[in-house]
Amino acid sequence: MKLLLIDLDGTIRYGTDNPKGFVNNPTQQAIFPDAAKQLQSYYDRGWQIIGISNQGGIEKGYVSLDAVLQGMRQTINLAPQIYDIYFCPSFTPPGTEVYRCGYRSDTGAWGSLRVNLQNYPVRCGYRKPEPGMLLMAIEDCVCRPSEVLYVGDRPEDEQAAAAANIPFMWAENWRAGTDDYRDISAETLYLRLEDDL
């Protein structure tokens, strides 16, 4: 099985009250039309799709945990190809909490839980650019890194992919339907960052 890890805000969804930014109100969101097509294409080809999202607004007091959970449920309603969403409610790096939520069509049940991090051998941070949520999803889905693609729209998404040692694609390219992704490693990314300094 192949695994598509996908960032949410700015990658597949946007706030209808803020089309270029974060989803601020759980009911005021939409899926980019090109993202909807890509999600369906990957789903039809047998990829499992997992959302990965920083939700630091919870820690900062901008939004409640219940509102974020409602927003995740709405995202899965709008994009039912998504199997689960992992999110980190911490704003302060490295992020020490993760929630997992999803809908099971076989039982018709929606669920969410705070992940018991003691059950995972991952010993790193979970807020992107730390790779913890990506590594957790890979372990849960029993995939090899070579069978994973992470898509995002921000530098911390690219950095998280590099730290997890998995291929990365920019959201704009992915939504356009290109298969031009970067198989980047942490070493390659750090060398590039040094060149930029």
Task: Give the DSSP per-residue string, 144-195.
Answer: -GGGEEEEESSHHHHHHHHHHT--EEEHHHHHTT----B---HHHHHHHHHH
Give the residue among 104, 96, 103, 149 at the shortest CA–CA distance from 126: 96
Select the CATH number that applies to the domain covering 3-196 from these four: 3.40.50.1000, 1.10.10.10, 1.10.3720.10, 2.40.50.140: 3.40.50.1000
| Of the listed ranges 41-50, 57-66, 83-92, 183-192, the one predicted with least confidence | 183-192
From CA 48, how far away is CA 171, in angstroms rounded? Answer: 18
pLDDT in tens, 63-120: 899 999 999 999 999 999 999 999 999 887 777 889 999 988 778 888 888 888 877 7
Is pLDDT above 50 for 194? no
Given pLDDT bands bounded at 50, 70 and 90, which one contains residue 197? very low
15 near 25, Cβ under 8 Å? yes
117 near 88, Cβ under 8 Å? no
Task: Give the DSSP per-residue string, 3-39.
Answer: EEEEE-BTTTEEETTBTTS---STTSEEE-HHHHHHH
**Largest Cα–Cα separation, the chain:** 52
Q: What proportions of the chain, in percent to the nearest 5, are helix, strand and coil?
A: 35, 25, 40
Is pLDDT above 90 for 3? yes
The CA distances from residue 36 to 76, 176, 193, in Å, are 12, 11, 32
> What SS3 state is found at 117?
helix
pLDDT in tens, 128-163: 999 999 999 999 999 888 899 999 999 999 999 999
Given pLDDT bands bounded at 50, 70 and 90, which one contains residue 189? very low
Given pLDDT bands bounded at 50, 70 and 90, which one contains residue 183? low
Q: What is the dihedral of CA 18, 20, 26, 32, to 10 degrees?
A: 130
pLDDT in tens, 154-173: 999 999 999 999 999 999 99
pLDDT in tens, 15-29: 998 766 778 888 899
Is pLDDT above 80 for 59? yes
Domain ranges of the chain: 3-196
From CA 10, how far away is CA 23, in angstroms rounded? Answer: 9
pLDDT given for residue 193 in this prediction: 41
Residues 6+ apart with CB under 8 A from 159: 128, 129, 189
Instruction: Fill in the amino acid letter for 39.
Output: L
Sign of the Cα torsion 16, 20, 26, 30 reads: positive
